[in-house]
Amino acid sequence: MRSIIGLLLCLALVFYVAPVGGKKVRKRCKPLTFPDTVRSCDQEPNADGWYRDGTVCNFACRVGCVKDTGGTKRVCKVKGRSKWWTGGRGLKCLCRPCVGAPSHPEGYTSDCGAGTYLAGHTCVFTCPAGYVKSSGNERKVCVNSRWRGEDLVCEETNECMSNPCANGATCEDEIGGYTCTCAPGYEGDHCETETDECMSNPCENDATCHDEIGGYTCTCAPGYEGDQCEAETNECMSNPCANGATCEDEIGGYTCTCAPGYEGDHCETETDECMSNPCENDATCHDEIGGYTCTCAPGYEGDQCEAEDSTTPMGGNNGYTDAGGTTSGYSRCYGAPSHPDGYTSGCSENQEEFPAGHTCVFTCPVGYVKTAGDSIKVCEDGQWMGEDLVCEATPKVIPVIVAQPSSTQPVTHVSSPARSGMSRQQEIQGNSAKMANGGEKT
């Protein structure tokens, strides 16, 4: 086994090591360069810069130089221990410098001045202000003692072609620039900003200014008017006060001084003088324009019925007259009339006295109906006249189910008071017999 491994190692050394001196055999072409040239190969070299067999490299003169002699294409060939580049003599280039700067039209600028420039140097040209390139080249290159490149040709720029002015402004072209004439309501170099007309505070008297395109509007504070809110408003011009009231103009408003008998912000409401209850002793108050009148209860007199009438005994003709036309002496009832518990009355139990002829109305409780007595009691001669109201509960409807021998459906019968002396049981039996014979129940 050891002899076989040794044999393989010897064969490997035969292929990679020269038989004499123990030097390694390179099967690649060494790098190839020529002055003032650039190289482009179709394969990459190894770490030492050597190219493998078959590599094709093309050579060209660098910028600013021209070919003199020699070939431009070389190919790496490796045969045994021989390695070489085919293609004959190497490329030779001419690279003479340029003396002086290249020519250019008057007014144009260049980054090259007087002097000598190496082959390949580039000079850059710029159009004058307000002009743009129309043809030619901005650059000229020194190529073997000569400047190569067309002259730059410029023409005046129309800066307005790009529509630089905004919001309907007018553009005026100038040499090397332009001017924008803004439409009303705009400002700025390009008329891009809306003018704030409110900046000058044109609205007066604490009015609010609202900026608009090309103008403004003023919202006046109460009491002022006009385009700039410069004038005080006369609110009385619209006659806001009613019913003969006097209007007094004020800043931002007005005041109405009402005529007698009226009230309210605009004197639009007639004053109800009866609201203060000026009439006494259960008198009736009648409201009038600017005053009132009192209709006294029997037995009283005076503007407010404040005094008892002493001209007739017990009130005289002011007494209570009953349905038969009989006039009784005046006498009040003290306290509300009695009534059964749960009944409601139209007279307050907190009232201490009631005038003669006063009536109290009674109502049955919920679920009850009147069966006897009076619903009204009247104060006569110091007493409440009328029988107590009597109420009874409302009858309820009670359903009764009667089974039928010839039918699976029960018959519902609503109970009601017995008729013609017939008992409830007799009525049910009679209905059952009729239903069995195909008749209708009663």
CATH architecture of 159-195: Ribbon (2.10)
Sketch the domain layout of the chain as residue ranges: 2-88, 98-156, 159-195, 198-232, 235-271, 276-318, 333-393, 399-436
Supply the pLDDT for residue 317: 39
Rounded to the nearest 10°, the torsion over CA 373, 375, 381, 382 is: 100
**The CATH fold of domain 98-156:** Complement Module; domain 1 (2.10.70)
Q: Which residue has the tokens 């005076």?
A: 302
CATH 2.10.25.10 given to domain 235-271: yes
Top CATH class of 333-393 equals mainly beta
Angle at alpha carbon of residue 180, lines to 174 and 186, rounded to 5°: 170
Supply the pLDDT for residue 423: 40
Helix (H) or strand (E) holding 429: helix 424-436
Q: How far apart are CA 14 and CA 17, in angstroms?
A: 6
Supply the pLDDT for residue 434: 43
**The CATH fold of domain 276-318:** Laminin (2.10.25)
Same topology, domains 2-88 and 98-156? Answer is: yes
Q: How far apart are CA 89 and CA 72, in angstroms?
A: 9
Supply the pLDDT for residue 439: 44
Q: How far apart are CA 82 and CA 90, in angstroms?
A: 19
| Residue 209 identity (one-letter amino acid) | C
| Strands 262-263 and 253-257, bridge-based pairing | unpaired
Q: How far apart are CA 106 and CA 148, in angstroms?
A: 19
Q: How far apart are CA 268 and CA 275, in angstroms?
A: 17
Candidates 275, 295, 276, 292; CA nearest to 284 is 295
* 16 and 2 Cβ atoms separated by less than 8 Å: no
Supply the pLDDT for residue 316: 38
Instruction: Collect the ranges in the chain with pLDDT lower than 50.
Output: 1, 5-22, 312-329, 397-442
Longest C-alpha distance within the chain, in Å?
A: 175
pTM: 0.35
From the options 3.40.50.300, 2.10.70.10, 3.40.190.10, 3.30.565.10, give the CATH code of 2-88: 2.10.70.10
Candidates 160, 166, 211; CA nearest to 192 is 166
Retrieve residue 198's tokens. Answer: 């409110």
Q: How far apart are CA 273 and CA 251, in angstroms?
A: 33
pLDDT, tens digit, for every residue of 136-146? 999 999 999 99
CATH architecture of 198-232: Ribbon (2.10)
